[in-house]
C-alpha cells in the first residue's frame, strides 16, 4: 500500500475513536491502560486527557493515512522521565515511542516501518535534541519487532516491567545512524 502518511495531535474528540481502537482484539492483545486490556471510555478519558491538555510530558498523535485516521503514535523525552530512563538503562539522551494501528484493514500491510521512520524524522528527532530513540515491544510481539527492526531499530536488551508484569525488548535507533541511512 502506497499512500500519504501524516500526523496530528490527539484531540478530545478523538477519544471515542481511541476507545474503539483500544478494544479491538488486534490492539488489546498488546495494549493496556493501567493493566486493563479492555478499557472503558472513562479510563481512556482519564489516561489521555492530561496528555491532550499538556499536563503530562507525552505527545500523542493520530496517524493519518490518505486522509483517514488509522492509529495512534506517542512520544516523550525519557530525560523528562528519570525513573523510566533508569529502568531502560540508557545513559544517553533518549526519546521513546509507542504506536498501534487501530483500523484492522491497515494491519499487516507493511505500513509500520514507514510510519515510524516518518515520525522519527518529522517529530521525534526534530522536536527533541536526543541521541537516540527507543521502543519497547513485548517479547512475544514478533510482528511488531520485525517492523521496528525494518525501521532501523536494533536490539539493546530485555527487561522486566513489573507494572505490566511482562518482559519487553528494548530496541534503539541512534539519531546519527538514522540520518545516515538511505531513504526507503
Rounded Cα distance, 133 and 1, in Å? 26
Beta carbons of 114 and 128 less than 8 angstroms apart: no
For the chain, the first-to-last Cα distance in angstroms comes to 14
Of the candidates 96, 100, 78, the residue with the CA atom closest to the CA atom of residue 147: 100
CB 26 within 8 A of CB 104: yes
CA atoms of 48 and 9, how far apart (whole Å): 12
Report the mean per-residue pLDDT for the chain.
91
- pLDDT of amino acid 167: 87
Q: Which domains does the chain have, with CATH numbers?
A: 5-180 (3.40.630.30)
> Cell triple for residue 171?
530496541
**E-state strands within 56-165:** 59-65, 68-77, 94-101, 132-135, 154-161
State how far the Cα of 128 lies from the Cα of 131, in Å rounded to an integer. 9
Determine what percent of the chain is predicted with pLDDT higher than 90. 73
Specify the DSSP element, H or E, that contains 118. helix 112-119
pLDDT score, position 181: 64
Given a cut of 90, whether residue 145 has pLDDT beyond it is yes
Residue range 80-85: mean pLDDT, rounded: 86
Amino acid at each position: 500500500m502506497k499512500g500519504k502518511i501524516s500526523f496530528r495531535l490527539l484531540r478530545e474528540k478523538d477519544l471515542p475513536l481511541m476507545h474503539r481502537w483500544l478494544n479491538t482484539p488486534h490492539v488489546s492483545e498488546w495494549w493496556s491502560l493501567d493493566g486493563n486490556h479492555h478499557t472503558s471510555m472513562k479510563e481512556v478519558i482519564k489516561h489521555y486527557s492530561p496528555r491532550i491538555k499538556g499536563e503530562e510530558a507525552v505527545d500523542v498523535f493520530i496517524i493519518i493515512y490518505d486522509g483517514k485516521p488509522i492509529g495512534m503514535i506517542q512520544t516523550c523525552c525519557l530525560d523528562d522521565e528519570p525513573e523510566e530512563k533508569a529502568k531502560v538503562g540508557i545513559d544517553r539522551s533518549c526519546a521513546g515511542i509507542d504506536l498501534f494501528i487501530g483500523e484492522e484493514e491497515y494491519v499487516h500491510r507493511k505500513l509500520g516501518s514507514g510510519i515510524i521512520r516518518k515520525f522519527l524524522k518529522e517529530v521525534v528527532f526534530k522536536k527533541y535534541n536526543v541521541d537516540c530513540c527507543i521502543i519497547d515491544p513485548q517479547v512475544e510481539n514478533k510482528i511488531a519487532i520485525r517492523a521496528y527492526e525494518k525501521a532501523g531499530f536494533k536490539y539493546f536488551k530485555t527487561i522486566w516491567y513489573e507494572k505490566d508484569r511482562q518482559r519487553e525488548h528494548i530496541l534503539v535507533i541512534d539519531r546519527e545512524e538514522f540520518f545516515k541511512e538511505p531513504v526507503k
